[in-house]
């Protein structure tokens, strides 16, 4: 018995639930049970019936597909020596929205990047509404790892490749360069971009919400490396050509110059050097003039080096037998309203003598005896006035005029190399027809597995006759004597041309040119040397270009192991 009962007091009981309170309770419990049932049903649906939904949504937040950079193909010389290679580098980037506001971390980041803190903060502020910004591109993996080790939120890395050019400025204009994204911008890097670039791959990775790599899952597509490119260039000869050209340009205080050395049998370019040049591995303070491959993209009036080619056309007409003699007295003549001159009064000259004395009057008198434009036609047959077809970006076509009515002065000027424009490459290529028994070989910057089929442009007997005449040009007592190569016979031709400007021909501005073929008994190399605007005491092609030929050709013949064919010995007569 309770205390209340013992006291005679009736115990209190809870009041009965009101009808509305009971109904509310039932409704609430029902709603809770329904909610729990729906939740359980949704869980069953997601995990059993439609389980892919969560997987897809989860993957969308953490799975990423990252590119795998493709290794750019290597460019080599004809013997496999590297001229352009790609090395792995790392680019560090950031999501500005994830970067911390903590100055301590930003100070450490700026120091590791080698940047000013204020500059870094300014860049971050400019990119604050974006999700990507470069911090520093193309670093060595070791340097990049030092930055990543700071573990600054929002800082990430990406693998890339950087182009490196072992030969530096020696062959820069031929190879060209790539930009910061490793895409070809100049030269053969641009011409063969699709071949060298390769195909990037793809890989699937897991990243956290800050973009940091959590796990590397699988390679979706393998990266396909770019193709390698073997050039016709012989790096040994290239170094020699570049060295001797640079010395000559400096000694003669010239604006620049070009050298082209070609294999007489195949048309392959063994060396192609230009001045000025540039270092493709360090382009700070780059002079844009150094970017141009002058030997291929620049043209000039060639002058007297065209006379042997013009003579080949004249001989083939049959109008001029081998014993033809031309009177060049008194050393000048009037044609139309122009006066043409020789350096001196050479009097009576044979055909060979016209080339040996480089007589403008002799060439003009021969040409004016004909009624057909055989000289300009021959020039076009030899590739002048049209693209060489190497595929090099911007290769010059030059110009051979074709007026409806030819004036006597135009015919005459073309025969001694004025009134047309050519590139150094075209000039070297044209002389393959003289060195190769009349067969013209198209130029090639790529290594050929076998000699191409040449085109018979000049009659074999005429080509051999011209080669013999050019052999007489390089003799001890001639203007081209400085082109002699000890132990070897040389066939050559000098040229000295006044430069043109906006007002016509310039005073005291010349180009000195020399074209040489050696050895004459079995031609192996053709070399063109052009020195642009020498400011020293000498400017004639025989004085400034011929010695360059001698040094380059002499070294090249020894490197190529070409047996000597000249019993004469000793140094060339200066």
Q: Are 176 and 186 in contact (CB under 8 A)?
A: yes
Closest alpha carbon to 95 in 214, 215, 210: 210
The long-range contacts involving 40-48, CB below 8 angstroms and separated by at least 24 positions, are none
Q: Are 113 and 93 in contact (CB under 8 A)?
A: no
In whole angstroms, what is the distance from residue 72 CA to residue 238 CA?
A: 24
In whole angstroms, what is the distance from residue 459 CA to residue 437 CA?
A: 7
In whole angstroms, what is the distance from residue 544 CA to residue 50 CA?
A: 86
- How many CA atoms does the CB half-sphere of 334 hold within 13 Å? 2
- Cα–Cα distances in angstroms (integers) from residue 485 to residues 272, 349, 355, in the given order: 20, 27, 20
Where does 404-467 show beta strands of DSSP type E?
Answer: 439-440, 455-456
Q: Are 199 and 185 in contact (CB under 8 A)?
A: no
* SS3 call for 529: strand
Is residue 304 flagged as an active site residue? yes
In whole angstroms, what is the distance from residue 515 CA to residue 494 CA?
A: 7
Q: Are 201 and 226 in contact (CB under 8 A)?
A: no
Among residues 86, 258, 277, 304, the one annotated as catalytic is 304
In whole angstroms, what is the distance from residue 524 CA to residue 237 CA?
A: 14
Closest alpha carbon to 529 in 240, 161, 206, 152: 240
Closest alpha carbon to 184 in 81, 84, 90: 84
In whole angstroms, what is the distance from residue 346 CA to residue 354 CA?
A: 9
- Cα–Cα distances in angstroms (integers) from residue 459 to residues 186, 452, 467, 494, in the given order: 39, 19, 12, 24
Catalytic residues, by residue number, are 304
């Amino acid at each position: 018995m309770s205390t209340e009962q013992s006291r005679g007091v009736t115990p209190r009981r809870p009041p009965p639930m009101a009808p509305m309170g009971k109904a509310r309770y039932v409704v609430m419990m029902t709603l809770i049970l329904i909610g729990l049932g729906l939740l359980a049903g949704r869980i069953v649906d997601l995990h059993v019936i439609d389980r892919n939904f969560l997987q897809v949504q989860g993957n969308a937040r953490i799975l990423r597909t990252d590119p795998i950079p493709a290794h750019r193909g290597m460019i080599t010389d004809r013997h496999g020596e590297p001229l352009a290679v790609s090395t792995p580098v790392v680019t560090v980037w950031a999501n500005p929205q994830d970067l911390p506001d903590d100055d301590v971390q930003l100070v450490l980041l700026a120091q590791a990047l080698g940047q000013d803190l204020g500059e870094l903060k300014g860049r971050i502020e400019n990119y604050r509404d974006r999700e990507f910004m470069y911090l520093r591109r193309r670093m060595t993996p070791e340097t990049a790892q030092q930055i990543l080790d700071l573990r600054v939120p929002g800082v990430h890395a990406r693998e890339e490749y950087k182009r490196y050019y072992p030969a530096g400025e020696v062959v820069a204009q031929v190879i060209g360069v790539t930009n910061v994204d490793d895409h070809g911008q100049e030269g053969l890097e641009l011409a063969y971009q699709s071949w060298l670039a390769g195909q990037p791959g793809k890989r699937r990775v897991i990243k956290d919400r800050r973009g940091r790599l959590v796990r590397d899952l699988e390679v979706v597509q393998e990266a396909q490396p770019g193709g390698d490119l073997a050039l016709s260039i012989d790096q040994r000869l290239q170094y020699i050509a570049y060295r001797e050209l640079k010395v000559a340009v400096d000694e003669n205080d010239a604006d620049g110059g070009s050298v082209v050395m070609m294999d007489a049998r195949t048309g392959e370019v063994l060396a192609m050097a230009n001045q000025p040049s540039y270092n493709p591995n360090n382009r700070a303070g780059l002079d844009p003039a150094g970017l141009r491959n002058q030997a291929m993209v620049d043209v000039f009036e060639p002058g007297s080096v065209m006379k042997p080619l013009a003579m080949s056309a004249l001989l083939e007409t049959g109008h001029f037998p081998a014993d033809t003699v031309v009177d060049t007295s008194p050393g000048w003549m009037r044609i139309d309203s122009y006066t043409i001159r020789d350096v001196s009064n050479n009097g009576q000259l044979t055909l060979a003598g016209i080339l040996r004395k480089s007589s403008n009057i002799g060439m003009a008198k021969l040409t004016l005896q004909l009624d057909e434009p055989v000289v300009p036609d021959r020039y076009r047959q030899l590739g002048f006035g049209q693209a060489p077809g190497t595929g090099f970006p911007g290769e010059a076509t030059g110009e051979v005029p074709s007026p409806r009515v030819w004036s006597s002065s135009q015919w005459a000027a073309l025969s001694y190399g004025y009134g047309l424009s050519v590139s150094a490459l075209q000039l070297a290529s044209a002389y393959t027809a003289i060195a190769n028994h009349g067969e013209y070989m198209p130029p090639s910057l790529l290594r050929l597995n076998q000699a191409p089929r040449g085109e018979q442009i000049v009659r074999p007997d005429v080509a051999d006759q011209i080669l013999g005449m050019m052999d007489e040009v390089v003799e001890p007592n001639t203007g081209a004597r400085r082109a002699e190569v000890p132990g070897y016979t040389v066939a050559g031709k000098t040229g000295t041309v006044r430069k043109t400007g906006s007002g016509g021909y310039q005073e005291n501005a010349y180009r000195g040119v020399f074209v040489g073929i050696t050895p004459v008994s079995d031609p192996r190399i053709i070399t063109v040397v052009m020195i642009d605007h020498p400011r020293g005491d000498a400017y004639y092609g025989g004085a400034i270009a011929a010695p360059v030929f001698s040094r380059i050709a002499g070294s090249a013949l020894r490197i190529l192991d070409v047996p000597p064919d000249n019993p004469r010995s000793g140094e060339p007569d200066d």
